Amino acid sequence: MSYKILLVDDEPNIIDVCKRYLELEGYEVRTANEGSDALKVWRQEKPDLIVLDIMMPKVDGWKVAETIRLMDDVPLIMLTALGQEKNRLHGLTIGADDYMTKPFSPKELVLRIRNILKRSTQQRNRDSSHDIEIGDLNIHQLNRQVTRKGERIELTVKEFELLWLLANHPLQVFSRSQLLEKIWGYDYEGDMNTVNVHIRRLREKIEIDPSSPLYIKTVWGIGYKLEGSQNEG
């Protein structure tokens, strides 16, 4: 299967080098050098993954990512020359799947893309024959949709993977390190706060009152579990 990658950066040398590495791996590569062009290419090409620089003229990467996340759960890898913790956390908050700080190795970028696409494909194929109902939530594995009382809830790739994992193991407590390993993989260089950010975002979307969650419960000192009566379809 040939995957389509959208590579967005305002530095031509980064575009050229990364494009060559990705094409050698068999990926189709589309490029853009600023935010508004990136959004046009995204709408026209429907890429399987986007590598997105943050610091760009006119429309920056934050705005591009926020716009895309309103309508699409395509995996996002954010690139930036800024190494501050707040920028990385902001990327995770708006739904980025991974984060790389410049300068970076094109080989590492290829490896991260490969791993994200592999996990995303495996997740789509795993247990695709059934859906799960928990309380008012309906989790549809085949089309990766979540609804509450018939109303669709838009989740990012990682948010859905977190919810699906917890829903398939009701009442089982997962530590933050276990969730980091299972959802992001051994090679992910993030920290435990990555899990906290995604759990918070997930609660904001699926819980009626995120401050008093019905579904995703915190087990203090350990991690998280999912509660609620479950029916499989």
- Average confidence score pLDDT of the chain: 85
**d(Cα 222, Cα 191) in Å, to the nearest integer?**
15
pLDDT digit string (tens) for 204-226? 999 999 999 999 999 988 889 99
pLDDT cut 70: percent of the chain above it = 85
pLDDT band at 233 (very low <50, low <70, confident <90, very high): very low
* Euclidean distance between CA atoms 76 and 69, whole angstroms: 9
Vertex 146: Cα angle to 143 and 149 (nearest 5):
130
pTM, entire model:
0.61
- DSSP assignments along 138-207, one per residue: EEETTTTEEEETTEEE---HHHHHHHHHHHTSTT--EEHHHHIIIII-TT----HHHHHHHHHHHHHHH-
What tens digit of pLDDT does each residue of 52-105 get? Answer: 999 888 888 889 998 888 778 788 999 887 665 566 666 666 777 888 888 899
Give residue-wise pLDDT tens across range 133-167.
Answer: 888 899 987 778 899 888 999 998 889 989 998 99
In the chain the domains, ranked by start, together with CATH numbers, are 4-124 (3.40.50.2300), 127-232 (1.10.10.10)
